Amino acid sequence: MDPTLGPPHGLSSVKYDLIIIGGGPGGCMAARTAARDGLKVLLVEKNNEAGRVTRFCSRSLRLGAGGFSSNAVATDENLKRISVTIEVGSQHHRIHLQNMPSDAVIDYRGELNPVFNETFVSPSGHSFSRFHSSRDIEAFVIDKEQLLQGLLAEASAAACEIRAGTRCQSIQDTPDGVSVVLKSDTGEAVLSARRAIIADGSFSPLIEQLGFNNGRSAGPGRLKFMSFVIDRVTFPFPELRRVRLCVPSLHPGIVNLGPWPPGMFQLSAAASVDADISLPEVLNKFLTNSPFSEIFAGSTVVAKQACNMDRRPAIRDAARGNVICVGDNAAFAETAIKGALGCGFTAARCSKEAIERGADGANALYNDYWQHAFNYFSREYNRRVAGVRDFTQALQDAETDILFEWISRHGVSGLPNDIIIENRHQLEQELPEICAKLLPRDRDSVGRQPAH
Ligand SMILES: Cc1cc2nc3c(=O)[nH]c(=O)nc-3n(C[C@H](O)[C@H](O)[C@H](O)COP(=O)(O)OP(=O)(O)OC[C@H]3O[C@@H](n4cnc5c(N)ncnc54)[C@H](O)[C@@H]3O)c2cc1C
């Protein structure tokens, strides 16, 4: 940073260059990047221990550009801005954010659990997989707390001040800088800075306060999630896959089974918050009284976790004035871990740029990144993923078996919606009744589901 730069006019009490609110992947990555770039940074985290994860997350770090609901749409090219590779080492591993500056790399010292494929299974056991080959690693289930703690240690080593147990109550953005009201056990304080990064996750009251949500519609509504952590499972498929159990009569959605470090598994399900569905009951049924109960014979549920996810359309301009929104607070549903890391890195660089050269250009840089790193803004993408009804809601168990048997017999792989769209003409001829249910004429009311 240019040491000759004084505080902005009219804000002589500015102590920090940058205040970062929230210590998830977005905030921690922003803190480390900005501190290493020489900014004077404060990170505040409301949890008493920074680097602790309290919101449920399946912790799967997808490699490459893949991740959201479609493997096939051309605009997924844009996801390359948040493409990830992992260099596996003996002492530690290196997570590289591709297509970004070479210092967008993270030393990670936690466990890596490779996931080779995702397998969708029907009530009678017909199955197909997301990827044609199960030889390549698709994702790693990681220890998210280790990831965050590593970033925080590096931020701290670069002189970032970290205050845990400190909640940001409110924020004001003025032409001269930002001021935040912070609350902790020891009382309240008002601090100011040239810029702020808000990385406080979903349901953010702070971005609401600043007007970022003005004009943002409610979207297809909220989802509720429930996850059981279980100690052992007899996998019906080769180990280290993620399995999607599909029994529409037990749950009009997919029930996911996958690894949960260290050495455990998680069984999870989602539903609209408005649906009269008890997710604990659904998961208990899958454990004890479903076509898949044998998989869980002798397993114990060791923990249960729940959370909600908002599916509001993404904010188009996530950088405005002296504030940049990072991660889930501005996203459609979620940015995922790798997306939050990418946003955090870019927001830190743009904050430095704003301090040195002015906010307008720097905010425009961030907004360009935000709009192209994810495909929330692509009409083609949204049209495609909205074009098919969710098979778990449209089909009965027997129809699901017929569809999965067809997919398996034809040796097709992919996500269900991609498969249905790509093979629609053949499906229309060979399974006309099922096809009519999956591809109704009026498709406007069909929403997109995040895929975990
Ligand atoms: C059910 C579910 C499963 C998921 N599974 C995966 C997965 O397998 N892989 C994947 O990549 N992603 C997954 N995600 C998404 C992933 O968890 C998020 O996209 C990612 O954590 C977003 O990071 P973030 O930094 O934006 O926010 P968060 O991780 O939510 O972090 C926000 C932080 O801000 C703190 N905070 C909030 N308000 C304040 C305040 N006022 N003051 C101070 N601190 C505050 C919070 O305590 C928290 O530490 C999943 C999400 C859900 C809901």
* Ligand 1 atom, smallest distance to 338 CA: 11
Percent of all residues in the chain with a pLDDT value above 90, rounded to a whole number: 69
Least confident of 11-15, 214-218, 349-353, 392-396: 11-15
Q: Is 58 in the pocket of ligand 1 (CB under 6 A)?
A: yes
How many angstroms separate the CA atoms of 40 and 44, rounded? 14
141 lines ligand 1 (CB under 6 A): no
Mutational pocket test of ligand 1: of 29, 57, 376, the residue with most ligand atoms within 8 Å of the beta carbon = 57
Q: Is the CB of 167 under 6 A from ligand 1?
A: yes
pLDDT in tens, 66-113: 655 666 655 556 667 788 899 999 889 999 998 899 999 999 999 888
CA–centroid distance, residue 55 to ligand 1 (Å): 6
CA distance 318 to 323: 8
Q: Output the average pLDDT for the chain.
A: 89
- Ligand 1, atom 35, lies closest to the CA of 22
Lowest mean pLDDT: which of 21-30, 206-215, 386-395? 386-395
Contact 126 CB / ligand 1 (< 6 Å) = no
327 CB within 6 A, ligand 1:
yes
Cα–ligand 1 centroid distance for 24 (angstroms): 6
Residue 43: the pLDDT is: 98
CA-nearest residue, atom 26 of ligand 1? 327
pLDDT value of position 445? 38
Residue 311 tokens, joined: 């599916």
Q: Is the pLDDT confidence value at 129 over 80? A: yes
pLDDT of the residue at 259: 85
Who has greater pLDDT, 377 or 141? 141
Q: What is the pLDDT of residue 13?
A: 53
> What single DSSP character describes residue 102?
T
Which pLDDT value is given to residue 75?
52
Q: Is the dihedral of CA 266, 269, 273, 278 positive or negative?
A: negative
d(CA 137, ligand 1 centre) in Å? 24
- Centre of ligand 1 to C-alpha 244, Å, is 23
Find the 40 Cα to ligand 1 centroid distance in Å.
24
Decide whether any atom of ligand 1 lies within 6 Å of the 337 Cβ: yes
Question: What pLDDT, in 10s, does the model give residues 153-198?
Answer: 999 999 999 999 999 999 999 999 999 999 999 999 999 999 999 9
Beta-bridge partners for 112: 142
* CATH-assigned architecture of domain 16-108+143-217+317-379: 3-Layer(bba) Sandwich (3.50)
pLDDT confidence of residue 449: 42
Encode pLDDT of 209-222 as tens digits: 999 999 998 888 89
pLDDT of residue 374: 82
Tokens of 217: 């519609």
Pocket test for ligand 1, best of 55, 207, 370 (most atoms within 8 A of CB): 55
* Closest C-alpha residue for ligand 1 atom 2: 57
Task: For 310-336, write each residue's pLDDT tens digit.
Answer: 989 999 999 999 999 999 999 988 999
> Which band of pLDDT confidence, cut at 50, 70 and 90, is reported for residue 421?
confident
The answer to whether residue 302 scores a pLDDT higher than 80 is yes
44 lines ligand 1 (CB under 6 A): yes
- Cβ of 352 closer than 6 Å to ligand 1, yes or no, is no
Q: Report DSSP state, residue 261.
A: T
Which atom of ligand 1 sits closest to the CA of residue 28?
25
pLDDT tier at 33, thresholds 50, 70, 90: very high
Q: Kindly state if the Cβ of 67 falls inside 6 Å of ligand 1.
A: no
Tens digit of pLDDT for each residue in 52-68? 998 989 898 988 776 55
Nearest CA, atom 12, ligand 1:
336
Domain range annotation of the chain: 16-108+143-217+317-379, 222-309, 383-438
Q: How many CB atoms lie within 10 A of CB 144?
A: 21
Could you tell me if the CB of 53 is within 6 A of ligand 1? Answer: no
Amino acid identity, residue 391?
Answer: F
pLDDT for 238 beyond 90: no
Q: Is the CB of 21 under 6 A from ligand 1?
A: yes
Residue of 69, 200, 265, 346 to mutate, ligand 1, most atoms within 8 A of C-beta: 200
CA–CA gap between residue 343 and residue 347 (Å, rounded)? 6
Q: In what order do the strands lie in the sheet with 60-62?
A: 60-62, 139-142, 112-115
- Tens digit of pLDDT for each residue in 242-259? 899 999 999 999 999 988
Distance 351 CA to ligand 1 centre (A): 21
**Site of tokens 């229309």:** 428
Q: Which residue has the higher pLDDT, 8 or 435?
A: 435
Q: How many CA atoms lie within 13 A of 329 on its CB side?
A: 30
d(CA 364, CA 405): 49
Token representation of residue 414: 């992919």
Confidence grade of residue 443 (pLDDT, cut at 50, 70, 90):
very low
Q: Which atom of ligand 1 is nearest to the CA of 202?
A: 30
154: which 2 tokens?
């590096």
At residue 392, φ and ψ (nearest 5 deg) are -70, -20
Q: How many CB atoms lie within 10 A of CB 429?
A: 9
The Cα 111–Cα 384 span in angstroms is: 36
Residue 447: its pLDDT value, please? Answer: 37
Query: How many other CB atoms sit within 10 Å of the CB of residue 59?
Result: 24
The CATH classification of domain 222-309, taken from the options 3.30.9.10, 1.10.10.350, 3.40.50.10800, 1.20.1250.20: 3.30.9.10
**Side chain identity at 296, as an amino acid letter?**
F
Residues 397-418 have pLDDT tens digits of: 999 999 999 999 999 999 898 8
pLDDT interval class at 14 (50, 70, 90): low
> Chain centroid to CA 364: how far?
24
If one residue of 21, 42, 52, 58 were mutated to test the ligand 1 pocket, choosing by the most ligand atoms within 8 A of its CB, it would be 58
